[in-house]
Amino acid sequence: MKIIDISIKDYPYKVYIDRSLLLNIDNYIDVNRQIVIITDDFIPKIYLNTIKDKMNNPLIFEVPQGETSKSMEIVYSIIDEMIKSEITRKCLIIALGGGVIGDLAGFIASIYMRGVDFIQIPTTLLSQIDSSIGGKVGINATNMKNAIGSFYHPQMVLIDPNTLKTLSVREYNNGVAEMIKYGMIADKSLFNDLLQTNISENIEYYIEKCINIKKHLVLKDLFDKGERQLLNFGHTIGHAIEKYSNYNLLHGESISIGMALMSKNYKHYDLLIKILQKHSLPFEYEYNKEKIFNYIKTDKKASKEMINIILVKEIGKSFIEPIKITEIKKYL
């Protein structure tokens, strides 16, 4: 088993990575307390059944899979049911699923009766290496992703890499895209491993490596005002492309294209394309530049005039550059 301490002042928590974790859930949490499990209807039932069988009649919500479940309607319907079921402030909310479920359940935990305990059990590669760490929780509104949300940390994160066995190849590679990003911004050896070896054989090691990179940046900048923004490499253009594709492109696929566009003028461009191709990730897309630019202007991270972009000067070394928002056009 691997244990990572996320030593955030006042809200420290641990990440456990272990292949028999779901089977032994009662070793990690008090299964006799009031428990609410939030999951989605596409995740293989075996995971829900494995943990719920160890618990004392948990309240279970299975929301429709996909981004549309990060909505106020779903939040309200779950909270309404929790109140009717007499769920108290002492409850524990468990997020069992990918980033959608982590963001949704974490947001509900942050507002229900002014905040209740919650733990993350991420079941996609993307959520295991990225979204379950760092405390960002939230939902979408009025066509804006993560428009409503807060910073709210879980009590613990429980990662069972066995859950990745049922993930589709496309969803797996979606997570690999974020691994490539970590390599690009902070870790050349990770990048080289992703290029040269089969990481799935030793996935625990790579999950731990990625979490440590994110942890390092999050601890320096809890509220995403400084160095944590390095994690956004490829994301400004990527988010715009994701929206432009009407979410037909997955998040990791969109940021792959974003990373490629931000690297056009650098020596490492060819190597980046090679690694993306190796993992069946896209690096280009037909789009209308003006529309993409308009989406970027409405990015949460943009001000009216300026935006911070992330550039990689050589693999493993990145920096933040504030530019006039119109200058982003030269990357499109």
Q: Which residues bind ligand NAD (CB under 6 A)?
A: 40, 42-44, 65-67, 70, 97-101, 103, 123-124, 126-127, 130-131, 134, 136, 145-146, 163, 166-167, 171, 174, 251
Give me the least distance between CB of 97 and ligand NAD, in Å please.
Answer: 5
Give me the least distance between CB of 124 and ligand NAD, in Å please.
Answer: 3
In the bound state, the residue with its beta carbon closest to ligand NAD is 99
In single-letter form, the type of residue at position 176 comes to V
Q: Which is nearer to ligand NAD, 87 or 108 (CB)?
A: 108
Q: Specify whether the CB–CB gap between 204 and 82 falls below 8 A.
A: no
Q: Which is nearer to ligand NAD, 21 or 101 (CB)?
A: 101
Q: Residue 295's closest CA among 182, 160, 143? A: 143
Sign of the alpha-carbon torsion through 214, 220, 226, 227? negative
Per-residue CA distances from 236 to 75, 165, 230 (Å): 27, 31, 11
Q: Which is nearer to ligand NAD, 193 or 242 (CB)?
A: 242
Q: Specify whether the CB–CB gap between 146 and 139 falls below 8 A.
A: yes
Cβ-Cβ contacts under 8 Å for 89 (sequence gap 6 or more): 113, 114, 116
Give me the least distance between CB of 131 and ligand NAD, in Å please.
Answer: 3
Q: Which is nearer to ligand NAD, 12 or 44 (CB)?
A: 44
Give me the least distance between CB of 52 and ligand NAD, in Å please.
Answer: 16
Distance CA 288, CA 77 (A): 38
Give me the least distance between CB of 212 and ligand NAD, in Å please.
Answer: 16
Q: Residue 92's closest CA among 109, 73, 68, 117? A: 117
Q: Which is nearer to ligand NAD, 70 or 268 (CB)?
A: 70
